[in-house]
Amino acid sequence: MAKKKRTPAQAARKAKMTAKDRKTLASLVGMADGVTKSAKRGRAPHLEVPSRSLSNVKFNQSRKIIEMGAASNRRELFNLSQAKTYMQTMLVGRGCKELIEQGKTTSIRGMYYLLKHTIEGTHEETFDDQADCDPVIEDVEVTLNALREELHVYASNRGSMVGNITLVDNGDEIDCSRMGSGGYAIPSIVEPEIMQFVKCTADFILHVEKDTVWRRFNEDKFWKEHNCILTHGNGQPPRGVRRLLYRMHNELKLPVYCLLDNDPWGYYIYSVMKQGSINLAYESNRMAIPKAKYIGMRSRDFELCELNPSVTIKLSENDIKRANQIAKYPWFAKKKRWQKEIQKMLSNGFKLEVESLISKDISYVTQEYVPERLAKGDFLD
């Protein structure tokens, strides 16, 4: 294990820790100190873990983001039903501490392997499988109020970026206007310690749902003509993409426009980008972009763009159910235009993918659809 290996080189690395690393490390050590303190006082060690259940999530009307409430659950060592999770929580804390001290990062799968072992003298495993470990990582995040990235655990990295921005990623300067056809692969850790913005002349960000649509825009040099930054998240954007959009929106004052499918999944992606997600409510603060605009696809586009009926896709039972759920989200419920949008999709009885615009012309979406809506300021909010 790593402990045997703490060499002078590692000590040097430790010295190179960022201010944020030191802060996170202090929280982790504080968590451990709690145990010894309790023990010395003859009390049962416990943790207060903020509750991540739906009932502890609320929509903050003034900030327009989903936030966690104040409820928490006590996790005790000397409680038969909680002892294992308690120890797992401490174990994850130890894993994060090692990562920070070594200046390394890993995936949630890596964390699982890092901590998995058979407890000495028993047949008991620390974690039976990864599903056992993942929620504990989230528990540590909320307990310490630290982003996963601050714990040196990264999420998947999907998503690319291209456009008029130059940034430094891990010491390398990257000019996103010279990234060829592939673009810059957005990493999952985009915190200011790792990534700094050097220069940005772009006027806005166009975020599209899919890689394939992104490529049409990149091939047509849309970002050059319209002076923007072009991103995609391969479906629901992962944390790295959301966090990067958040940073560019707030630090560089760039408006964010979202081009997503006209289906419940597209609506949901917009909802998460704008208000945050229920599951990651504790991170809305650093990821949600309440001012993000929805540029399309819209339910009206079938008629407006004179699309052929053959490019429509019939709504499934599940689509209808999801659409009705989404319509009731507090952040959509009071918005007449969104209600109309969702009702229109339901009465259409079909959904429309952004790619369906190809049936008009291969570059209709880049040359007419988006430019017209940008020029008119025609989007949903």
Q: Looking at the annotation, which residues are catalytic?
A: 113
Position 125 contacts its own copies (CB under 8 A): yes
CA angle 154, 33, 282 (to 5 degrees): 40
Q: Do 67 and 60 contact (CB within 8 A), yes or no?
A: yes
The residues in 189-208 that bind its own copies, with binding defined as CB under 8 A, are 189, 194-195
Residue closer to its own copies (CB basis): 82 or 126:
126
Position 104 contacts its own copies (CB under 8 A): yes
Residue closer to its own copies (CB basis): 37 or 104:
104
**Interstrand relation of 57-60 and 65-68 (parallel, antiparallel or unpaired):** antiparallel
For residue 327, the tally of other CB atoms under 10 A from its CB is 19
Q: Do 201 and 233 contact (CB within 8 A), yes or no?
A: no
Region from 82-90, 137-145, 222-230, 350-358 binding its own copies, contact rule CB under 8 A: 350-358
Q: How far apart are the first and last CA of the chain?
A: 51
DSSP characters for 230-262? EEE-SSSPPHHHHHHHHHHHHHS---EEEE--B
Cα–Cα dist 316/351, whole Å: 9
Taking the complex as a whole, the smallest distance from the CB of residue 178 to its own copies amounts, in Å, to 4
Position 18 contacts its own copies (CB under 8 A): no
Question: Of 251, 231, 136, 253, which Cα lies nearest the Cα of 187?
Answer: 231
**Looking at 27, 105, 164, 231, which residue binds its own copies (CB under 8 A)?**
105
Position 229 contacts its own copies (CB under 8 A): no
Taking the complex as a whole, the smallest distance from the CB of residue 24 to its own copies amounts, in Å, to 17
**Looking at 58, 74, 117, 337, which residue binds its own copies (CB under 8 A)?**
117
Region from 36-44, 274-282, 342-350, 354-362 binding its own copies, contact rule CB under 8 A: 354-362
DSSP characters for 95-150? HHHHHHHHT--EEHHHHHHHH--BPTTSS-BS-SSHHHHHHHHHHHHHHHT--GGG
Residue closer to its own copies (CB basis): 97 or 274:
97
Taking the complex as a whole, the smallest distance from the CB of residue 160 to its own copies amounts, in Å, to 5
Position 25 contacts its own copies (CB under 8 A): no
State residue 369 phi and psi, 5-degree precision: -55, -60
**Looking at 174, 278, 346, 380, which residue binds its own copies (CB under 8 A)?**
174
Position 184 contacts its own copies (CB under 8 A): yes
Cα–Cα dist 6/267, whole Å: 49
Position 110 contacts its own copies (CB under 8 A): yes
Q: What's the burial of 55, exposed, middle or buried (CB within 10 Å: 0-12/13-18/19+)? A: exposed
State residue 35 phi and psi, 5-degree precision: -65, -50
In DSSP terms, 74 is beta-bridged to 48
**Looking at 48, 219, 251, 381, which residue binds its own copies (CB under 8 A)?**
219
Position 87 contacts its own copies (CB under 8 A): no
**Looking at 251, 303, 361, 378, which residue binds its own copies (CB under 8 A)?**
361
**Where along the sequence are the contacts to its own copies (CB under 8 A)?**
1-2, 5, 98-99, 102, 104-107, 109-110, 113-114, 116-118, 125-126, 154, 156-157, 160, 168-174, 178-187, 189, 194-195, 211-212, 215-216, 219-220, 308-311, 353, 355-363
